[in-house]
Amino acid sequence: MNIQHHLSDDLLLDYAAGNLSEGWSLVVATHMALCPSCRKRLSAMEGAAGALLDKVEPVEMPADAWDRMKRRLEGIRIEEVKAPRPAAPAGSGMVFPEPLRSYVGADLANVKWQALGLGAYQVRIPTADPSTQVRLLRIPAGKPVPEHTHVGRELTLVLSGSFHDGDDLFGRGDIEEADDNLLHTPKALPGEDCICLAVTEAPLRFSSWIVRLIQPILKI
């Protein structure tokens, strides 16, 4: 696999620090399941956090802190703690890595698509995060991404097939980070449907119809 489009530092930092909400975290973590290079960057960021933790001014601890900790340890039943398991062999033929597969509840072959019209399909992926909207998109080969209206940030991760946006080509594992400023017109490559995980800021109902209304005027 040859991933060309990676996570930005600011997105990765929010994830490393635990400041990224569930919807965005899902696409970030799914990209990293496919991308050793971003996992290395994540480790480096966690390493930076560890170095900062070493240098934190330690607080004065209550005199009995260790004694209390020790009493607590004595109450813990000694369990056989599992050492890290060896990684599973690759080549499972699965398309959705974790954590995505659990969220969808199935791999690609068993997805229950809803038609969007013009040959495109989607599945909404439920999360507990009201600030984002997460869905799988299936874009018919050679066709543009449908219903492409969004406000704010949008992350699109290719899981199968590929699309191009201007001169940029996005294949499996590639992630496109877009915001309001970027006029983009992603289009699936001919030959194969493109399956993407797309996360957008949850549309406010109010701005949503305004966007729809002015969209033809702005030619977005």
Partner 1 sequence: MRGLLPHYFLFSLIQAGRLPVNIAMNLDIPLEAKPCHKAVRVPSRKHAPSARSVRITKSLLTQKTNQPPSHGEMARLLKSVASDRSVEAFEALFRFYAPRVRSFMAMKTGDRQVAEELMQETMVSVWNKAAQFDPERGNVSAWIFTIARNIRIDFYRRRRPAFDPHDPAFVGDDTPSAEMEFEQVQDAALLRQAMATLPPDQLDVLKRAFFDDVSHSTIATELGLPLGTVKSRIRLAFEKLRSALEGRR
Q: Does 133 bind partner 1 (CB under 8 A)?
A: no
- For partner 1, the closer of residues 49 and 141 by Cβ is 49
Binding-site size, partner 1 (CB under 8 A): 78
40 versus 212: smaller Cβ distance to Zn ion: 40
- The phi and psi torsions of 177 (rounded to 5 degrees) equal -110, 120
Q: How far is the CB of 132 from partner 1 (least distance, A)?
A: 12
Interacting residues with Zn ion (CB under 5 A): 6, 35, 38
Q: Does 64 bind partner 1 (CB under 8 A)?
A: no
Binding mask 142-181 for partner 1 (x = CB under 8 A): -------------------------------x--------
62 touches partner 1 (CB under 8 A): yes
- Binding test (CB under 8 A) with partner 1, winner from 79, 117, 126, 217: 79
Shorter beta-carbon distance to Zn ion: residue 38 or 196: 38
Q: What are phi and psi of 54, to 5 degrees?
A: -55, -35
DSSP letter for each residue of 17-41: HT-S-HHHHHHHHHHHHH-HHHHHH
Q: Which two tokens mark 34?
A: 């496919």
The answer for residues whose C-beta is within 8 angstroms of residue 59's C-beta and 6 or more apart is: none
How far apart CA 107 and CA 123 sit, in angstroms, is 12
204 belongs to the binding site for partner 1 (CB under 8 A)? no
Dihedral angle at the C-alpha atoms of 194, 162, 93, 95, nearest 10 degrees? -60
Shortest separation between residue 16's beta carbon and partner 1, angstroms: 8
> Where in 96-125 is the site for partner 1 (CB under 8 A)?
96-99, 101, 103
Report the side by side order of strands in the sheet with 114-117.
Answer: 114-117, 120-124, 132-139, 194-201, 154-160, 175-178
> What are residue 160's DSSP bridge partners?
195
